[in-house]
Structure 1
Amino acid sequence: MDITVEVKDITSGVEVWVKGEIDAYTAPKLSETLYPLSKREGIVMIVDLTEVSYMDSTGLGVFVGLFKSVRAHNGVFTLVGLSERLQRLFDITGLADIIDIKSHAEGGVE
């Protein structure tokens, strides 16, 4: 499976739409696309995972790294549109307690 990462600049940062599967094969593309953006001072990064059908621990690692980088640069990192399966993955790993996760309806820049 392949992955598509679409990035749109917004006033306060970037909105990102990810489609496909996030695994050991596709995670490097996601990381290469988003990690440089995470270093922007004060960035607001919103990542929409509505069309992600599968994610393994490699994907979780990418999001932990992005979260840490965005926070280190005084930014805000939010995930939106997680399926029940992805939400459960973040819940059981405890990442849902540290990463801001919103439903698709709540997503977007306020």
Structure 2
Amino acid sequence: MRVVLDLFSGRPNPSFRLAPNEVAELAARARALSVPSAAPAVPQAGWRGFIVLGDGLPGFEPIWLRVKEKVVEMQGGAWQDSTGIEALLDTSARRHGYGALLDEARKRTNSGAAL
């Protein structure tokens, strides 16, 4: 599975692949979600969350889920992130070298500035 950091407007977003153990952990956490939630508004610019894509042809991978503001959206609806999916993806993104970019994107989005 590939994780996209959905934050840029007009240029490619960075992405990375989850390790097999992370894929298994993500799947287990997603199956354990149980509390429905309203999906957060997705801003047109700035940090829009993590998008997890299933394996498929590049550019044609189905969105498996989107995570932002402790809400997980999947095809069947939206749930409170009670299992720590956003934290799992954040940790993995930082391990792949995207920590400073995530921090800056979140700071700018919270202040209303675009990247």
TM-score (norm 2): 0.31
Larger RCO, structure (CA 8 Å, separation 6 or more): 2
More strand by share: 1
More helix by share: 1
Which of the two has higher C-alpha Rg? 2
